[in-house]
């Protein structure tokens, strides 16, 4: 890859996000800095409550940080109005939510077509592309089914097809394989990885599964809202090694216990 290809797509520096619940203040994201290069896949791991979803929502502009700097393709997101941020997200990002967030009254096909319709494509073009994305996630035959008529795993695959349809530069996926079996998990992650392999795109996957994390170029570990460890794909060969690495990080931070493939 040339230096131009390796441009930074997303640059986050010192992100902070606090929530208040009653009288408690929760420091969900505490000084996280991440640079994402175009074309790379990054996995984020960490215990429940460590701040993974909050961080993903900050990166996708769904939440605004209390402080810190966030640039997407060079643009400072803090300077954008809510409307401009929403347009940027619709046109250039694809988000797979922790719960699939499909519209229950629409068919799988229309759920997947929605981002293209919102971006101004014709119904025919959007539906043709939606059919193709549904085929890629193995649901070509279920296009006319509504979410309520599908299993949790199928709904999650529809959500992935929806996130990919507008060919976004950045895909943010929150536990995209949480309700899938092992083979479907790996197939879906392979698909996300292919998205990133098209060099202008980046993928961030939040996962508890070491086998899924193994598909990423880098694995980051969050603990109590802080980025406590990072490992490169070149330094781990198997899912077992990822699990062992996570356990070492856990021992050091005394909190993190990932799901492990039988270790
Ligand atoms: N809207 C909110 N109001 C108050 N507290 C919140 C809110 N959203 C998240 N939190 C808290 O912030 C912390 C981080 O939550 P977050 O959802 O980011 O964790 P997570 O790592 O994604 O967990 P999980 O693996 O269970 O999905 C938690 O303590 C959570 O209770
Ligand atoms: Mg979460």
Write the pLDDT tens digit of every residue in 24-69.
899 999 999 999 998 889 999 999 999 999 999 999 999 999 999 9
Which pLDDT belongs to residue 6? 64
Q: Which of 45, 51, 60 to mutate to test the pocket of ligand 1 (most atoms within 8 A of CB)?
A: 51
pLDDT in tens, 80-121: 999 999 999 989 999 998 887 899 999 999 999 999 998 899
For ligand 1, atom 31, which residue shows the shortest CA distance?
A: 49
Superfamily of domain 8-101+164-253: P-loop containing nucleotide triphosphate hydrolases (3.40.50.300)
Report the separation in Å between the CA atom of 2 and the middle of ligand 1, taken as the mean of its atom positions.
Answer: 39
Q: Where are the alpha helices (DSSP H) in the chain?
A: 52-59, 82-92, 108-118, 123-136, 152-164, 182-197, 210-213, 239-253
Contacts 24+ apart (CB under 8 A), 22-27: 27/224, 27/225
> Residue whose CA is closest, atom 25 of ligand 1?
48
- pLDDT for 133: 92
Structural domain boundaries in the chain: 8-101+164-253
Ligand 1: which residue has its CA nearest to atom 26?
Answer: 48
**Which residues does 241 contact at the CB level (< 8 Å), separation at least 6?**
none
Distance CA 12, CA 204 (A): 13
CA 196 – CA 215 distance, rounded (Å)? 11
Name the closest ligand to CA 44. Answer: 1
Among protein residues, the one whose CA lies closest to atom 24 of ligand 1: 48
The pLDDT of residue 263 is 41
Tell how far the Cα of 117 is from the centroid of ligand 1, in angstroms. Answer: 32
- Confidence category of residue 255, pLDDT binned at 50, 70, 90: low
Question: What pLDDT, in 10s, does the model give residues 139-150?
Answer: 999 999 999 999
What pLDDT is attached to residue 54?
97
Residue to mutate (ligand 1; options 20, 22, 47, 49; most atoms within 8 A of CB): 49
Atom of ligand 1 nearest to the CA of 225: 14
Residue closest by Cα to atom 14 of ligand 1 = 51
The ligand minimizing its distance to the Cα of 45 is: 1
> What residue ranges line ligand 1, CB within 6 angstroms?
19, 21, 26, 28, 46, 48-54, 98
Q: Which residues have CB under 8 Å from 1's CB, separation 6+?
A: 39, 199
Which atom of ligand 1 lies nearest, measured to the CA of 222? 21
The predicted-structure confidence for 221-239, as pLDDT tens digits, reads as follows 999 999 999 999 889 989 8
Examine the pLDDT at 4 and tell me if it is beyond 50: no
């Amino acid at each position: 890859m040339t230096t131009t290809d390796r441009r930074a797509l997303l640059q986050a520096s010192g992100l902070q996000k606090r929530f208040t619940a009653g009288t408690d203040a929760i420091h969900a994201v505490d000084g996280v800095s991440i640079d994402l290069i175009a074309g790379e896949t990054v996995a984020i791991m960490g215990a429940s409550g460590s701040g993974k979803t909050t961080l993903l929502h900050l990166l996708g502009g769904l939440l605004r940080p209390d402080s810190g700097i966030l640039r997407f393709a060079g643009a400072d997101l803090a300077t954008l109005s809510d409307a401009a941020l929403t347009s940027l997200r619709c046109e250039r990002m694809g988000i797979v939510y922790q719960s699939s967030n499909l519209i229950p009254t629409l068919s799988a096909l229309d759920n997947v077509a929605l981002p293209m319709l919102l971006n101004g494509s014709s119904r025919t073009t959007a539906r043709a592309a939606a059919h193709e994305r549904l085929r890629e996630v193995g649901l070509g035959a279920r296009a006319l089914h509504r979410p309520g008529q599908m299993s949790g795993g199928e709904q999650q695959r529809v959500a992935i097809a929806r996130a990919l349809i507008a060919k976004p530069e950045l895909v943010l996926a929150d536990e995209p394989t949480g309700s899938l079996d092992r083979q479907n998990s790996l197939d879906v992650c392979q698909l996300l990885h292919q998205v990133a392999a098209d060099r202008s795109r980046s993928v961030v996957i939040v996962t508890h599964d070491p086998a899924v994390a193994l598909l990423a170029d880098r694995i980051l570990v969050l603990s109590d809202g802080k980025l406590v460890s990072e490992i490169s794909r070149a330094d781990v060969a198997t899912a077992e090694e990822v699990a062992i690495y996570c356990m070492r990080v856990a021992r050091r931070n005394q909190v993190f216990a990932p799901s492990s493939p039988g270790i």
